[in-house]
A and B are shown apart, each in its own frame.
Chain A
């Protein structure tokens, strides 16, 4: 690793590719349904004629941009464009509703760039040792990690924990539809062969988050987002000050994102949610998470962009894709004749290091392009009349859902789920627990079944489930997260008592 690789990454072609990739990725990612995986897969054939390092830089730049782009629709439309941006909706949309959408887009950009840099830094300096994290996670660890993720429902649903848990259970049930991932049983399809494919996560996301927003838009006379009158200055500086004040949150979230990104079975959605709940847990008393708290947006966005660099660690070191887009990039590398593995960092290191510097450059380029595109996206969404906004977004949700697997039944499932989600939201059931159940259900099930099979074969079931240090640590966090609402309400009560006492 020396400056030669940096110089290689800085050629005009590579800079142009990084810029193009970031811009294209950001735009694609901002459209619900068009995911980072798809963006990368579509562009793979173009890279065949390129030098391997340039191809990697282009694909990496698109990937980074797409993960950030998902924040726009999360903030401005309450629709996570990718599962990674679920947590961004919690505070981003309330911010946009009260007229701070431009600020939210700006801090999301700062956080994404910061997270992306930390992830890339880990990839540059610590890739071989950190890759062992991917191998330390076995079936039991994934089981407990997903149980931990499900326990976040308790701390995320501040209103009604019971309704949150019911929503989570509904999501788990939905995740069982179709061919079971490892036992190959067909479940809950009611004899219909269209249901064999199950409920597609991104389609469900679009339905559960976007359709209720669209229905509300049509049902109410108010404007979509509150607009501040009197052409105020762009709030880049204000955003930067907020981001600087939250630098510890950014750093913690980025580290969480990097580590979870390394785990091939987890991914950006889990990383964003864990970082969000950690930010919430350590919040100052005056911060109101879930009601438009900038730290909530920053935690998720820093974490999900950190998974980009983190995910490349097992991809390049072990040849095991850390995330779905990494799987596509790994395939493209194979076609190029590049073998991944530990030797890639030693023997053919030049490609890897040129690529990592390219990833840095792409991440830095995201700052100006992200702020610019973000500003434009915000202005468009805010000023566009409802009569155009609703059909345009409605059309996009359908195209996006169809594009995921070229499937019309996914579109129907999306619309049905969206309508169900709207009705449920009237009764106080939020969309996020359902989605959490849908995403984490299969991970938990696989982990449980595999751990059970291995535990029984080795005659040590108890040791398998409760005897491994990493899983015990995750288990402890789970208990903490489940007890958190209780502790919080006790603390609040104590605070009230104290105030009452001092008033006497």
Chain B
């Protein structure tokens, strides 16, 4: 009797767990909306477009990219938590944006409001010059900046952004003074550099990948050299402790159930592990990052401390 009962329990338990398992497998059973809080065509859009076909391939459902631009992303992030927390709505997030914006002023959300579940890549900071620029090496640029303080103009995308923070940090490390000229987006900042409106650009490795022979990168902010640019040194090699850039990932509305968040994190982790996906990203000049939901707390805290310190020193927060 006793034995039978335990078998029965076992059967029921197995059935329940099977049901739970198939329930988990059933997610997603419809398309997932992937909101980019910027206009189309930027790095956030392009990297989301890279994920799109892999998602469909692996999980059978569409990843539908839509745009909600405004306020440098703030409009979208401020509305994220009012959206349905069922796992079928996710939103692209960017660092340092979601740290700096709420620290500067009231933008309708705080950094801790954003429930990030996966950070999948970053575009490493890089100093980019035209192919015919007199700056052959980073030393040439530093020497010129030392000889003519403030006269060296560098374009970048926006103010209090990854590019701007990189300029501030590097100026301090190298003991130089350059002039940062903010442009609307990376495209405009590249145009200004190519058109010699400025002497150099604070850009990303993606600029080097897109522009090819037309430009030269003097250094990239990575731990090791980017596989696409084996000849470009890292800042570290040249004696500057700079690693970073603009980080991108995805977040969900706050009330999304934990198991759904975990499932999403695993799914995007699977895409990130795909060799074909990694190759596409690297060929585009991106650098991959694999921070899932488990490591997110530590990752965010480290970034937050780093950005707040740099921004405070530069007087961007007051």
Kindly state whether residue B261 has any CB partner on chain A within 8 Å.
no
**CA distance in complex: A137, B158 (Å):** 19
With contacts A45-B52, A137-B195, A454-B181 taken as known, whether A320 is within 8 angstroms of B40 at the C-beta atoms is no
Residue of B nearest to A44 (CB): B49
Q: How far is it, in angstroms, between the C-alpha of A138 and the C-alpha of B62 when the chains are bound? A: 41
A138 touches B71 (CB 8 A): no
- Taking the closest CB of chain A, its distance from the CB of B179, in whole angstroms, is 4
Report the bound CA distance from A193 to B75 in whole Å: 8
With known contacts A328-B40, A334-B46, A319–B211 Cβ distance under 8 A: yes
Indicate whether A327 sits within 8 Å of B187 (C-beta atoms), given known contacts A183-B159, A335-B46.
yes
- Least Cβ–Cβ distance between A188 and chain B, in angstroms: 13
B153 and A457 contacting across the interface, CB-CB below 8 Å? yes
Q: Does B144 touch A at the CB level, under 8 Å?
A: no
Q: Binary interface profile of B, 20-47, with partner A (CB < 8 Å = 1, else 0)?
A: 0000000000000001000111100110
- Min C-beta distance of B72 to chain A, whole Å: 5
What are the residues of chain A within 8 A of B35 when measuring CB–CB? 406
Contact of B197 among A44, A139, A191, A330 (CB under 8 A): A139
In whole angstroms, what is the CA distance A48 to B182 when docked? 34
CA distance A321 to B78 in the complex (A): 29
B84 beta carbon closer than 8 Å to chain A: no
B220 at the interface (CB under 8 A from A): no
Q: Give complex CA distance A457, B106 in Å.
A: 32
Which chain B residues lie closer than 8 Å to A247 at the CB level? none
Nearest chain-A residue to B106 (Cβ)? A193
- B128-153 CB contacts (< 8 Å) to partner A: 150-153
Q: How many residues of A contact B (CB 8 A)?
A: 58
A204 to B212, CA, bound (A): 40
B72's partner among A44, A135, A184, A314 (CB-CB below 8 A) is A184
Closest CB in chain A relative to B131 CB, distance in Å: 11
When the two chains form their complex, are residues A341 and B53 in contact, meaning their CB atoms are under 8 A apart? no
Residues of A within 8 A of B159 (CB): 182-184
Let me know if A331 and B45 touch, CB within 8 A. Answer: yes
The 8 Å CB contact of B70, one of A337, A405, A458, is A405
Residue among B41, B64, B181, B214 having the largest count of chain A Cβ atoms under 10 Å: B41
Q: Is the CB of B195 within 8 A of A135?
A: yes
Task: Report whether over half of chain B's contact residues are helix, strand or loop; otherwise say mixed.
Answer: mixed
Q: How many A-B residue pairs have CB under 8 A?
A: 166
Q: Are B151 and A459 in contact (CB under 8 A)?
A: yes
Interface readout for B152-172 with A: 1 if CB under 8 Å, 0 if not? 110000111000000000000
In the complex the two chains form, what is the Cα distance from A337 to B188 in whole Å? Answer: 23
The smallest C-beta distance from A204 to any residue of chain B, in angstroms, reads 14
CB–CB B211/A341 < 8 A = yes
A462: B residues at CB distance < 8 A: none
Q: Taking the complex as formed, is B67 at the interface, i.e. its CB lies under 8 A from any CB of chain A?
A: yes
Interchain CB contact under 8 A, B46 and A321: no
Contacts of B152 in A (CB 8 A): 457
**Once the chains bind, are A324 and B39 in contact (CB under 8 Å)?**
yes
* Contact between A178 and B71, CB atoms less than 8 A apart: yes
At the interface, yes or no: A318 with Cβ under 8 Å from chain B?
yes
Contact between A138 and B197 (Cβ–Cβ < 8 Å)?
yes
Determine if B195 and A327 form an interchain contact, defined as CB atoms under 8 angstroms apart.
no
Are A264 and B181 also in contact (CB < 8 A) when A184-B160, A406-B68 are?
no
- Measured CA separation A405–B64 after assembly (Å): 15
Q: Which residue on B lies nearest to A186, using beta carbons?
A: B105
CB-CB under 8 A from B114, the residues of chain A are none
A320 engages B212 (CB within 8 Å): no
Chain A residue contacts of B211, Cβ below 8 A: 319, 341
Q: Tell me the bound Cα distance from A440 to B182 in angstroms.
A: 18
Residue of B nearest to A137 (CB): B195
Of A137, A197, A343, A449, most buried by chain B (CB within 10 Å of CB) is: A197
Contacts of A186 in B (CB 8 A): 71, 105, 107
Nearest chain B CB to A469 CB, angstrom units: 14
Residues of A contacting B284 with CB < 8 Å?
A: 334
| Chain B residues near A320 (CB-CB < 8 A) | 187, 190-191, 194
B184 touches A182 (CB 8 A): yes
Q: What is the interface of chain A, defined by CB distance below 8 A to chain B? A: 37, 41, 44-45, 48, 134-139, 178-179, 181-184, 186, 191, 193, 196-198, 200, 264-265, 314, 318-321, 324, 326-328, 330-332, 334-335, 337, 339-343, 405-407, 446, 449-450, 453-454, 456-459
Query: Would you mind naming 14 contact pairs between A and B with Cβ atoms under 8 Å apart?
Result: A139-B192, A181-B158, A184-B160, A196-B70, A264-B191, A318-B214, A327-B187, A331-B45, A335-B49, A341-B214, A343-B212, A450-B182, A456-B179, A459-B151
List 12 other contacts, CB 8 Å, given A184-B160, A331-B41, A343-B213: A135-B191, A138-B197, A193-B108, A327-B41, A331-B40, A331-B45, A334-B210, A337-B283, A343-B212, A406-B35, A450-B192, A458-B151
